[in-house]
A = this chain, B = another copy of it.
Amino acid sequence: MASDKKKMVEAITAQEVDFAQWYTDICTKAELVEYSSVKGFVVLRPYGYAIWENIQKNLDARFKATGHENVAMPMLMPESLLKKEGELVNGFAPEVAWVTMGGSEPLEERLAVRPTSETLFCDHFSHVLHSYRDLPMLYNQWCSVVRWEKSTRPFLRTREFWWQEGHTIHETAEEAKAETEQQLNCYADFCENDLCIPVIKGRKTDKEKFAGAEATYTIEAMMKDGKALQSGTSHYFGDKFSRAYDVTFTGRDNTLQYPFQTSWGASSRLIGAIIMTHGDDDGLILPPAIAPVQVVIVPVAAHKPGVLEKSRELAAEIGKYARVKLDDSDKQPGWKFAQWEMKGVPIRLEVGPRDIEQGQCVLVRRDTREKQFVKFEDLASAIPAALEALAKDLYDRALKNREARTMSATTMDEIKEKTAKSTGFIKTMWCGDLACEEAMKEQAGLSSRCMPFQQEHLSDVCPVCGKPATKMVVWGIAY
């Protein structure tokens, strides 16, 4: 048993040795993705897709609870439509995949495979919006998009990725701004409560904001290695796109007006965030809210009378309150332990003949490996309690890591010194100049993650130029 387990675990690189390799090992060994024959494109395998389905389900329920409706836009858009808004097309043109042939005929106008759908939504809004009575329109789309990235990594950066994109229009700027804030909070709530990932909410600098947006808000998470992962963004467009795409409505005063617009998105890179926030050298550790299997039952000495029967009975019972799987395959228990640890199942139940005689089984937590004997009649309370405790501990551990790796600095020397010592977030004041932001990148390798909503006063001046500074920025190295 021990050697089986060892054999499997050896297949993964340790985090300490090579975090990046550990990450890609997990992606394939936990059977989340497989590389496809199309360069830069991956296959989401059943286990990876099941995690994505749970993410979708939980986010979608939140969106619908606040009145959003799902729609489907075309996958392709004419180049002329994309070009109507200059900043947007400039932002995306270098990474667009172009369809130039339909069947055996060259197209009169080439079509972009959607890299994002602002233009299509604007075009649609211009057809269906008439009166202020039609507002707000609160739309969302679940789909995949294509961006021709140069180098790719599963979930973090692939030429095709899966996401949702919300697109809303409103009668007033205030309502649109409130929507932007509501959806950012929705993402933060989902990350913290369902994914057990603490996030920093803030606003992007102009350099880092979405092409064409008036303001971009973000939630930033820290991975185990100290690097940052942007985990969801929410954009306020004002009436800029409405004007570019001629989206108008008749207002309460009977004049023609432009609606105010937002968009917001979260993607399958959240799976990358889950892996790198919680995983360890034995594999994934999944937050219970999105784990495809929350409890795996492994029979021990399954050939002994009563073991399989009892395991099946337990599976049926636990299925009433948790997502449970009975692994009754003909593999050895040790192999199964290692496999389900690799796949990050939060709780394992070991059911063997001697324990059955005593009316109990062994409950093992994936994160702590803590074992406890639980009487069968107590499982219905012990399992939910263990899932809840594990979720809380995942969050607390991630928060502790972030706190340990978050520094602040007031001079460039201090920034360089601290950045050289450890990877993490560095908080500094900032004057607001692009030149200073670029200097941080050149001199310290840091990009601005956001201007947190929760500001602190660290000093009076910008550490780069020495000019007065009132904004605090969180800097980091981003995935």
In A12-55, which residues have CB < 8 Å from any B CB? 34-38, 41-46, 49-50, 52-53
Range of interface residues on chain A? 35 or more
Determine the residue in chain B with the shortest Cβ distance to A52: B72
**Given A34-B127, A123-B36, A160-B75, are A98 and B100 neighbors across the interface (CB < 8 Å)?**
yes
Judge whether A71 and B43 touch: CB under 8 Å: yes
Q: Is A188 an interface position by the 8 A CB rule? A: no
Tell whether A76 is near chain B: CB-to-CB under 8 Å.
yes
Q: Which chain B positions have C-beta within 8 A of A102?
A: 97-98, 148, 159
* A128 CB within 8 Å of chain B: yes
Chain B residues contacting A96 (CB-CB under 8 Å) are: 103
Expressed in whole angstroms, the Cα–Cα distance for A70 and B70 within the complex equals 20
Q: Which residue of B44, B72, B74, B101 is within 8 Å of A38 (Cβ)?
A: B74
* Residue A349 interfacial (CB < 8 Å): no
Q: Which chain B residue shows the least CB distance to A98?
A: B101
A70 partner, pick from B35, B41, B46, beta carbons under 8 A: B46
- A162: interface (CB < 8 Å): yes
Q: Is the CB of A43 within 8 A of B74?
A: yes
Q: Which residues of A (91-111) have their CB < 8 Å from a CB of B?
A: 93-104, 110-111
With both beta carbons as reference points, the residue of chain B lying nearest to A76 in the complex is identified as B38
Query: Taking A72-B144, A101-B97, A102-B148 as contacts, is the C-beta distance between A111 and B43 under 8 angstroms?
Result: no
B70 and A53 within 8 A (CB): yes
Interface positions, chain A 122-167, Cβ under 8 Å from B, are 123-124, 127-128, 139, 143-144, 146, 148, 159-160, 162
Copies of this chain per assembly: 2
Complex CA distance for A52 and B98, rounded to whole angstroms: 28
Write out, one digit per residue, whether chain A residues 292-328 have a CB within 8 A of any chain B CB (1) or not (0).
0000000000000000000000000000000000000
Instruction: Give the chain B neighbours of A148 by CB distance below 8 A.
Output: 102-103
A113 within 8 A of B: yes
A72–B49 CB distance below 8 A: yes
Known: A75-B75, A76-B160. 19 other contacts (CB 8 A): A36-B73, A38-B78, A38-B111, A42-B74, A43-B71, A43-B120, A45-B128, A46-B69, A46-B139, A72-B144, A72-B162, A76-B113, A76-B146, A93-B104, A97-B111, A98-B100, A98-B102, A99-B113, A101-B110
Q: Which 5 A-B pairs have the closest CB atoms?
A: A46-B69, A41-B74, A98-B101, A44-B72, A102-B148
